[in-house]
Amino acid sequence: MNYKSTKYLLTAIVAFIVIIGSSCKKSNLNLDKYSNLKIKPEVLMPLAQISTNAWDLLKNTDSIRQDGDGLIRFVVSDSLTTIGADSILKKINLPVTNAQFKLGEIEIPDNSKQSFKTLGRLVSTLSDTAQMVFITSQGKDTIFPVIDRSSTDTTHLPKPTNYEFLKISKGYLVVTVENGFPVEISNMIITIRDNFANTDLGTVNILNILPGAMGKDSINIAGKTLNNDFSYTLNNIKTIESPNPVRVDSNDIITIGVFGNGMKCVGGKGIIPSQSIEKQYLSFDLSSSKDDYKIRNILFGTANLAYTAESKFAETFNLDITFKDATVGGTPLATTNMTLPTGIKSGNFDLSNTNIFMGADPVKDYNILRLDVSSSINSSGNMVDFDSSDFVKISLDPAGAEIKYVDGYLGERSWSLANETISFPDLQQFAKGITLTNPKMTIKVKNSFGLPIQVDLKLVAKNNAGASVDVQPDSMVFGYPLLAQAGTSVSSSFSIDKSNSKIVEALALPPTQFEVQGTAYLNKEGFKGYTNFVGDYSQISLGFEADVPLSLTAQDVTISDTSQDVSGTLNGVEKFDFLELKIKTENGFPMDGTMDLHFVDANYNILDSVVNTTLIASGIPDVTGKVITATENSSTFVLSNSILQNIGFGKCKYILFKVKLNTYQNGSVPVSVHAQNRLFISLAFRGKLSGN
């Protein structure tokens, strides 16, 4: 009989039973030698003794181990998958973003203007009587008479050539009067007029200007347009009479000046002087319309961020661009200098190895890349049109930047894990109908991602016949390091056992492989704060371990085997009245069984059978399923002459052995198989020759 070396205990026990039959063959017993026996009509002949234990049968298998108590376990471990940092870092798609600043307020070109009024000119507008008084006093030291003149006399101021018009956003026109008369001017009312727009810009009233002194007043022209064609109207002038004689000179003058003070403009046409522009703060929002990440810190590896700068301003800008919250090795990133003429300019910002804090914006404390832009105007000296809406727009494209580290909140997302197949080649040795009562599989995880990841595994057991069972394990939420522990790993393990899965049903197939699929969910519970982090060193490794102690129940487990050709061995058995195969067993295994023998011809047609023969009685286990008392049993296979007639004459070619097994108490009590479980079998053969 051909018996293979088995790897699992239940199959091994069946092998023991089958060995009983094989021992007759191996002794090369030829019953023909008893054909002439006349002295002893009965023959009793010891055949063989067999003694073995569970570990002797199983210890050569790598996946079979025993614990300290000798309990045999089936243990398989394998690496399932490794999730690297790229699975997250390369999915952070920083969008193209832009920000712009407008020209805003700038300093206006110089617009100082002066005009002179002589005493003679003023006197010429007085009454004839008053004119006569001054004419007679000309060049003399005398009492200077009172002047009280009202008129609508308009005087044009010199027309500036450095601008045509200016849109004033803030500032004043200051009107000054320098008194060159020998007496005090007690009151002077002046209206400034924009001749181009034909509108009055405002009126000043200057009081008590002493001789040789200057008086002034101002007109707020914020929000007005200042053209380069001015005039003023001297509405009224009053002087006091001198208390003492003074020299009266018609050439004495008063000087009227008009100039700007604190003035800014937001547009116009003119020669813009070279000047510095107020520092601009730009915020680039790197939020994505597709992803909900909220980045606080980001560290780039190789990163040349492409930029496009567009200027609508008519003059050349000199820009000093500072990434406010960027550091390289703890040192602030150097300022980038850029000359930007009208039009579009492209280039790159080198942010390699740069860490940027993106949570400093007072309005939005994540995803904001901040820039300070200090700019100055490089005047061409030409007359240009300009407006406050003229802008400089900077667009950034971070698509090509390598991200080495990021923290904050990385959003909700999911991705599929690579399909894996775990081979269980030895489990197919188990007979169908055996129930392993306490199997356990463990998913072991080592995680250096700083974020909560839930994995839903689909674990399907399959056998070679195409049957399958979905183990249906629970979801797994991995442990992870805190932000302060960045760079370290946290280990977790998740048990898959009979309390949370269908592992018992899966192993009852028995399977030859497990197919593993899965979906990983990132931040499945949503935003819980800025606690996520991923570095280029981060990874999650998933390992698989099956720990299946041989604790089991078996009921009506049927295992069959076929002998080698026995026609030569059984030739002549028809001459015996009967043949008995006596078997004595001492069984320390926690199972028993019955055996059917079917004698078949070359075409496997059954010639005769012996059925339901008790062969092995189970050892008696304790409450843990461990056998504490071996059981002795004797069994006899009786082959009557009628059977021998059916199978003799060389007709029987093979013997089919069919063994039906149960664990203790008809498979109702779980038992465990230990390395020291022992089976002792002794065999004897007894026969009686026919009287013929």
pLDDT in tens, 340-381: 999 999 999 999 999 999 999 999 999 999 999 999 999 999
Q: Is 425 helix (H, G, I), strand (E, B) or coil?
A: helix
What token pair was written down for 220?
Answer: 């707020």
Examine the pLDDT at 398 and tell me if it is beyond 90.
yes
pLDDT class of 55 with cuts at 50, 70, 90: confident
**Residue entry with tokens 């040795």:** 429
Taking the CA atoms of 639, 642, 645 and 646 in sequence, report the sign of the dihedral they define. Answer: negative
Which of 85-99, 306-320, 644-658 is the least confident region? 644-658
pLDDT in the model for residue 134: 87
Examine the pLDDT at 260 and tell me if it is beyond 60.
yes
pLDDT class of 21 with cuts at 50, 70, 90: very low
Examine the pLDDT at 32 and tell me if it is beyond 60.
no
pLDDT class of 574 with cuts at 50, 70, 90: confident
Q: What is the pLDDT of residues 403-422, one digit of tens each?
A: 999 999 999 988 888 788 88
Does residue 30 or residue 77 have the better pLDDT?
77
pLDDT in the model for residue 284: 95
Q: What is the pLDDT of residues 284-321, one digit of tens each?
A: 999 998 889 999 999 999 999 999 999 999 999 999 99
Q: What is the pLDDT of residues 185-211, one digit of tens each?
A: 999 999 999 999 999 999 999 999 999
pLDDT in the model for residue 431: 57
What is the DSSP track for 289-341?
A: SS---EEEEEEESS-EEEEEEEE-SSSEEEEEEEETTEEETTEEPPPEEEEE-
Q: Which candidate, 660, 614, 608, places its Cα nearest to that of 639? A: 608
Q: Which of 10-14, 205-209, 257-261 has the highest mean pLDDT?
A: 205-209
Q: Which candidate, 630, 635, 616, 622, places its Cα nearest to that of 677? A: 630
Does residue 451 or residue 123 have the better pLDDT?
451
Residues 6+ positions from 154 with CB-CB distance below 8 Å: 193, 231, 232, 233
Whole-number percent of the chain with pLDDT over 90 = 44
Does residue 534 or residue 570 have the better pLDDT?
534
Contact 582, 686 (CB under 8 A): yes
Contact 208, 264 (CB under 8 A): no
Q: Provide the strand spans (E) within 180-274.
A: 185-194, 199-209, 214-220, 225-227, 230-239, 245-247, 253-271
Residues 6+ positions from 688 with CB-CB distance below 8 Å: 41, 42, 43, 576, 577, 578
Query: How far apart (Å, rounded) are the C-alpha atoms in residues 223 and 226?
Result: 10
Which of 4-18, 240-254, 469-483 is the least confident region? 4-18
Q: What is the pLDDT of residues 107-166, one digit of tens each?
A: 887 777 778 888 888 888 888 888 888 888 889 999 998 888 887 778 888 888 889 999
Contact 408, 293 (CB under 8 A): yes
pLDDT in the model for residue 313: 92
Does residue 282 or residue 644 have the better pLDDT?
282
At 564, which amino acid appears? Q
Mean per-residue pLDDT of the chain: 84
Does residue 346 or residue 579 have the better pLDDT?
346
Q: What is the largest CA-CA distance in the chain?
A: 193
Q: What is the mean pLDDT of residues 9-33?
A: 41
